[in-house]
């Protein structure tokens, strides 16, 4: 067998042309030899361009040498002309080029696959997978993972698994060639596709979730940590070509690198299909994230949340002397660390809740307490056994409330308050909302606070029997609620207008 072999077989059609070194072990192409040849061709193209642009033809060179002594650097030029004859060779090549006898110069200098070199194969090379690999689209290195869709074009796949560091220091490559030789552009595309498709999946799957809840889920599913984990389970890191040390700094930031290659793979899948397989990618991603979704929805407690749990708990067992208190056990960040709140009466923890924000965690803690029948019965009996002067709001407030309520019709100020009243910001008792609960719960009426964000502040509307009593704004939700409660405590004549009658 001849040791010389053409890369393109003459008996193959252009669309079936393939590089198949394994069928001829005598011929191969290593990464090192590929870069060496690539560099040599780059230098050849650069040299030809330089000869065409800079070299003199023989007549110009002869005239130049006749007057060379007049030049400041004439001696150096003479030495260059005599020492190796390369300037003379360049002049003769320039003659041939100008006379139209070196058309190949332009073809080499500006070569692409559309250019035909005289005497060379006219067939277009096309890379394809070995036959044994074409049916491997169901392979997955981790049996717990859904099958990995395959990228059929091996060039796109090679680009997916080439980090920029592997080619960025290759000086002979142009910017365009470097861009086409690493995965950064595919990563950019894949990042957008994943974000879009995961958003669609969540939007369709959870019609009752609000924007905040959907955002929390999405951020968890497409975080560097999550995508990096998917990448590792599919064995992507072992395929990734990099040119840096895998030291401590790498270990610290590896999730970003691994997540980048996962995004690049998704981008590669899309390009490989000629931008037509979004449905296939979506189905794969949905299979991939479904196991994690069930854990996330359970962890962040997004289902069946009782927004009245705190009010119900207070109405059952709370009192001014011994109200349920909510203590933050763990402060979350709204993403990968959840909030944990404990509900306490005195020194006893009667409930604990976890949520993606402080409100959810507090409500879950109240729900947990409500679910404990023995605890509820214990504190109901304790409240009943507590002397009235201890269990109710301090006498001064109670008496003021009673007097103002009885004298409502005689006090024109109460009749002139337009509901909902606008409450100015002020320093108020931090226990105001608890005190209002204590007063209203005796009449089996529970205040409802509805809070929305207005710029940098929180605006709370206090509803009593579905009547908007007042509106208050403050830098925090708690202060905004307390301002509303304090206003009603200071103007108890509002209560009958909200169909709440206090003895």
Q: What is the pLDDT of residues 62-84, one digit of tens each?
A: 888 888 888 888 888 888 888 87
Indicate if the pLDDT at residue 25 is higher than 50: no
Cis peptide before 420 (omega within 30 of 0): yes
Give yes or no: residues 457 and 384 share one domain.
no
- Choose one of 339, 368, 391: the last residue of a domain: 391
Count up the domains in the chain and report the number: 4
Mean pLDDT of 399-410: 39
- The confidence score (pLDDT) of residue 208 equals 78
Indicate if the pLDDT at residue 471 is higher than 90: yes
Indicate if the pLDDT at residue 401 is higher than 70: no
Mean pLDDT of 477-485: 92
- pLDDT band of residue 413 (cuts 50, 70, 90) is low
- The confidence score (pLDDT) of residue 82 equals 80
Give yes or no: residues 160 and 186 share one domain.
yes
Q: Report if residue 2 sits inside a domain.
A: no
CB contact at 8 A, 18 and 128: yes
Rounded mean pLDDT of the chain?
Answer: 80
Give yes or no: residues 361 and 474 share one domain.
no
Q: Report if residue 121 sits inside a domain.
A: no
Mean pLDDT of 484-488: 92
User: The domain that contains 458 carries what CATH number?
Assistant: 3.30.160.20
Buried b (16+ CB within 10 A) or exposed e, 186-219: bbebbbebbeebbbebbeeebeebeeebbbbbbe
Give yes or no: residues 341 and 439 share one domain.
no
Mean pLDDT of 294-312: 73
- The confidence score (pLDDT) of residue 122 equals 61
- pLDDT band of residue 459 (cuts 50, 70, 90) is very high
Q: Report if residue 90 sits inside a domain.
A: yes
- The confidence score (pLDDT) of residue 8 equals 34
Give yes or no: residues 195 and 267 share one domain.
yes
Give yes or no: residues 482 and 369 share one domain.
no
DSSP string, 136-160: -TT--SSTTSPPPPPP--HHHHHHH
Mean pLDDT of 199-215: 88
H helix or E strand, kind and range, residue 448: strand 448-454
- Lowest mean pLDDT, pick from 168-177, 359-368, 375-384: 168-177
- The confidence score (pLDDT) of residue 18 equals 41
State the pTM of this model: 0.52
Residue 382 contacts by C-beta under 8 Å, 6 or more apart in sequence? 317, 322
Give yes or no: residues 282 and 352 share one domain.
no
CA dist., res. 339 & res. 328, Å (int)? 8
337-354 pLDDT, tens digit per residue, is 778 999 999 889 999 998
- Choose one of 391, 416, 434: the last residue of a domain: 391
Which residue has tokens 């030291």?
247
Mean pLDDT of 309-314: 89
- The confidence score (pLDDT) of residue 140 equals 61
117-139 pLDDT, tens digit per residue, is 766 666 555 555 555 454 444 45
Q: Report if residue 148 sits inside a domain.
A: no
Mean pLDDT of 33-45: 81
Most confident of 159-168, 386-395, 398-407, 437-446: 159-168
Q: Report if residue 474 sits inside a domain.
A: yes
CA distances from 181 to 164, 250, 279 (A): 8, 22, 28
78-107 pLDDT, tens digit per residue, is 888 888 788 889 999 999 999 988 888 888
- pLDDT band of residue 268 (cuts 50, 70, 90) is very high
Give yes or no: residues 282 and 403 share one domain.
no
Mean pLDDT of 282-306: 79
Give yes or no: residues 289 and 368 share one domain.
no
Give yes or no: residues 77 and 58 share one domain.
yes
- The confidence score (pLDDT) of residue 404 equals 40
- Lowest mean pLDDT, pick from 1-15, 277-291, 422-436, 456-470: 1-15
- pLDDT band of residue 239 (cuts 50, 70, 90) is very high
Give yes or no: residues 274 and 176 share one domain.
yes
- pLDDT band of residue 250 (cuts 50, 70, 90) is low
Indicate if the pLDDT at residue 260 is higher than 70: yes
Higher per-residue pLDDT: 41 or 443: 41
- Choose one of 374, 391, 408: the last residue of a domain: 391
Q: Which two tokens stand for residue 380?
A: 């109901």
Tell me how crowded residue 177 is: count the other CB atoms within 10 A of its CB: 13
Mean pLDDT of 478-493: 90
Give yes or no: residues 39 and 94 share one domain.
yes
Tell me how crowded residue 102 is: count the other CB atoms within 10 A of its CB: 18
- The confidence score (pLDDT) of residue 503 equals 61
Buried b (16+ CB within 10 A) or exposed e, 281-319: bbebbbebbeeebeebbeebbbeeeeeebbbbbbbbbbb
- The confidence score (pLDDT) of residue 484 equals 93
Indicate if the pLDDT at residue 2 is higher than 50: no
- The confidence score (pLDDT) of residue 195 equals 96
| Distance from the first to the final alpha carbon of the chain | 110
Indicate if the pLDDT at residue 375 is higher than 70: yes
Domain span including residue 268: 154-299
- The confidence score (pLDDT) of residue 382 equals 86
CB contact at 8 A, 167 and 35: no
Instruction: Count how many Cα atoms sit within 13 Å of the Cα of residue 110 in the half-sphere of its side chain.
Output: 6
- pLDDT band of residue 190 (cuts 50, 70, 90) is very high
């Amino acid at each position: 067998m001849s040791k010389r072999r053409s890369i393109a077989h003459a008996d193959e059609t252009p669309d079936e042309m393939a590089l198949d070194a394994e069928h001829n072990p005598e011929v191969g192409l290593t990464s090192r030899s590929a870069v060496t040849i690539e560099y040599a061709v780059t230098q050849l193209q650069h040299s030809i361009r330089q000869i065409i642009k800079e070299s003199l033809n023989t007549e110009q060179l002869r005239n130049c040498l006749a007057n060379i002594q007049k030049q400041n650097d004439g001696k150096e030029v003479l030495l260059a002309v005599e020492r190796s004859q390369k300037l003379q060779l360049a002049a003769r090549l320039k003659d041939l080029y100008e006379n139209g006898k070196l058309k190949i110069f332009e073809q080499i200098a500006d070569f692409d696959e559309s250019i035909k070199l005289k005497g060379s194969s006219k067939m277009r090379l096309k890379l394809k997978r070995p036959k044994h690999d074409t049916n491997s689209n169901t392979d997955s290195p981790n049996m717990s993972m859904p099958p990995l869709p395959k990228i059929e074009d091996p060039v796109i796949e090679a680009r997916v698994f080439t980090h920029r560091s592997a080619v960025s220091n290759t000086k002979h490559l142009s910017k365009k060639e470097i861009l086409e030789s690493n995965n950064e552009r595919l990563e950019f595309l894949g990042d957008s596709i994943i974000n879009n498709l995961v958003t669609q999946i969540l939007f369709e799957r959870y019609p009752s979730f609000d924007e905040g809840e959907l955002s929390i889920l999405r951020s968890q599913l497409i975080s560097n940590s999550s995508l990096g984990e998917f990448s590792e389970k599919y064995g992507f890191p072992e395929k990734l070509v990099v040119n840096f040390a895998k030291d401590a700094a790498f270990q610290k930031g590896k999730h970003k690198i691994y997540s980048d290659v996962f995004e690049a793979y998704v981008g590669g899948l899309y390009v490989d299909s000629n931008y037509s397989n979004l449905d296939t990618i979506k189905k794969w991603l949905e299979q991939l994230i479904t196991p994690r979704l069930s854990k996330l929805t359970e962890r962040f407690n997004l289902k069946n949340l009782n927004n009245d749990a705190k009010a119900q708990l207070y109405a059952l067992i709370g009192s001014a002397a011994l109200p349920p208190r909510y203590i933050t056990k763990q402060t979350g960040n709204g993403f990968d660390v959840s909030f944990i709140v404990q509900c306490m009466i005195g020194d006893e923890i009667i409930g604990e809740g976890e949520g993606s924000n402080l409100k959810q965690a507090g409500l879950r803690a109240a729900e947990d307490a409500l679910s404990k029948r023995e605890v509820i019965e214990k504190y109901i009996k304790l409240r009943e056994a507590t002397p009235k002067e201890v269990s109710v709001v301090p006498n001064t407030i109670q008496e003021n409330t009673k007097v103002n309520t009885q004298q409502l019709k005689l006090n024109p100020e109460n009749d002139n308050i337009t509901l909902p009243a606008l409450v100015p910001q002020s320093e108020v008792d931090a226990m105001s909302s608890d005190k209002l609960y204590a007063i209203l719960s005796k009449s089996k009426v529970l205040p409802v606070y509805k809070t929305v964000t207005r710029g940098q502040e929180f605006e709370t509307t206090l509803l009593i029997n579905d009547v908007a009593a007042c509106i208050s704004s403050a830098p925090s939700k708690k202060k905004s609620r307390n301002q509303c409660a304090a206003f009603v405590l200071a103007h108890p004549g509002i209560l009958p207008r909200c169909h709440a009658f206090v003895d």
